Structure 1
């Protein structure tokens, strides 16, 4: 569902109470909601934050109270929204004279009773602004030729790849557009996380876990990992090692378009429609992620909850190699970015058991030379043509 921006004046009146109630009603209906009291934190740069939230919203619900008539902040928010072409729905919380800058818009009257069905009907059900995380229309795939089984569950479409009795589940990731990188005021942010819009024009399949030691052993006939365990992620593997694994498996399974994910695909899948620092929200806990060296090791896959798209340990446990050569992000919107093939470094994403929380964020970028190996680096594989 799209995101709704609630604009209102904070004056401890019926208007502010109605804004809180609107938030609850919209969230209960499945909408994502931005309201400044829940979306801003100390230290945020207000204007850049509000601009970003408006750019990634589908509509604005304006709670009209007496103070709104003279509120410069609210006026600026509505002006920005109209410049972006967002629908603005005024909702009158009390009997006040409509400001001149609102009289061209049809309004809802909530002064006597709250007509929530009318508000829901006025909102865009599927329209998503250009800046939002939005899935493009992709036909639901039939069972792939390589799959031993496929189906649909609470996370979406899946297919299973079986090799020598070992099964890896893949999640179908639809094409879409999202914001890659982080806001300038995100805690733990690095300078190479420049926020920019990315469109992925092709759907792809992504393994729901990092590659396990059992998989590596079945394909390569050895086990380089330090923290041994069949269901533990294979680590101490370089980018070059991962490529060798992929090529060898492709030789043994005909027609398998196996590869590493691109960096953009990886972050898109990690975020799973979220724009918070983590797919679990603004913070993480030791019950959600293996991080901060509190266990002192990598643990078996599926030890922690999946993200909203059914992908496990996208934060922490082991860093994961991506296909891309490391490069600076472009400042402008891009489609299907592939990094810098000639770079001396390859991209790593997700953080590990060894890293603190800030280095396990959705936007975090690591890098290593293609031959670099250590006990907190592994990979997960993708399926699909570039």
Structure 2
């Protein structure tokens, strides 16, 4: 990143830093640009997962002091700058995708629909030495597969919003899957489904990401860090073997307040629950942006869908 961009008042990121360093990245079978931005499709043993380009940028992380039902560890609210973009799965990993990558194993408790998010998976099951992401990486040479950091997750969830939820100041069971017996900030009670639902059951955020609130908690790459009232660039929490890992987003079993964009928990990395799942990110190993990278070479074999 150009360090001049850190000067107060200087636009960030520069226009030529917004696009992916390689488009399409290795492993994509199709790509395009729609109302939500750039996307790619990647196939895993017959299961196609869409990823959305999350461009570099900056945002306010955490919750303001006056946000209803907030927790102390969500503050102080502070500015975070993410210097590199990444491709983020538009949904949590489904049971169908998990089985395609892991060879048929399905640890989930709610198996009525293969489009339900995989759950009952630990952080180690996802990011361990022989975990899901390692197996994805073997299938996609030239691409790094990993969980988003906590900062990247919140940035992606908010999609430019600063309200408790990416769609506004309130929430209802018509917008997300949670325990409607416990509404947010004095709202009305609603449906409690008592299980996960298929991905894409609710409207996406402004970056085309589904169920960033509710359904299952999502594992992040790092552990809980202490917030400070200073600008941070590409922050990461503890990542040692004994460190806990952050989960974000809330779940089908939780009160509405835990679904807020700023809500955060640290969880032991080897624990499994029917309310814990994940979505993952892809990053190209190519570090430098190529001029005209958006133009595909002839006979590339990758479908461009405008």
Instruction: Give the structure-1-normalised TM-score.
Output: 0.64
Match of 1:201 in 2: 83
Match of 1:355 in 2: 254
Match of 1:272 in 2: 159
Deviation, 1:132, is 12
Match of 1:162 in 2: 43
Gaps of 5+ in 2: 1-6, 181-191, 286-306
Cα distance in 2 for partners of 1:238, 1:329 equals: 25
Deviation, 1:296, is 0.3
Which of the residues 225, 228, 235 maps onto 1:327?
225
- Asked if the contact 2:26/2:141 (under 8 Å) is kept, the reply is no
Match of 1:383 in 2: 282
SS for the counterpart of 1:248 is: helix
Structure 2 residue 272 is the aligned partner of structure 1 residue 373? yes
SS for the counterpart of 2:222 is: strand
Tell me which stretches of 4 or more aligned residues in structure 1 moved more than 3 Å.
Answer: 129-136
SS for the counterpart of 2:134 is: helix
Deviation, 1:250, is 1.1
Cα distance in 2 for partners of 1:372, 1:131 equals: 44
Higher relative contact order (CA 8 A, sep 6+): 2
Cα distance in 1 for partners of 2:203, 2:94 equals: 17
SS for the counterpart of 2:60 is: strand
Larger Rg: 1
Structure 2 residue 200 is the aligned partner of structure 1 residue 316? no
Instruction: Report matched runs for 1:171-190 at 5 Å.
Output: 171-190=52-71
Match of 2:106 in 1: 223
User: 1:248-292: CA deviations, max 9, x gaps?
Assistant: 121233222100000000000000000000000001111111111
Which of the residues 276, 285, 292 maps onto 2:172?
285
Match of 1:253 in 2: 140
- Asked if the contact 2:39/2:50 (under 8 Å) is kept, the reply is yes
Gaps of 5+ in 1: 1-128
* Backbone CA RMSD of aligned residues: 2.0
Match of 1:140 in 2: 19
Deviation, 1:336, is 0.3
Instruction: Give the structure-2-normalised TM-score.
Output: 0.80
Match of 1:233 in 2: 117
Deviation, 1:385, is 6.4
- Asked if the contact 1:261/1:323 (under 8 Å) is kept, the reply is yes
Deviation, 1:357, is 1.2
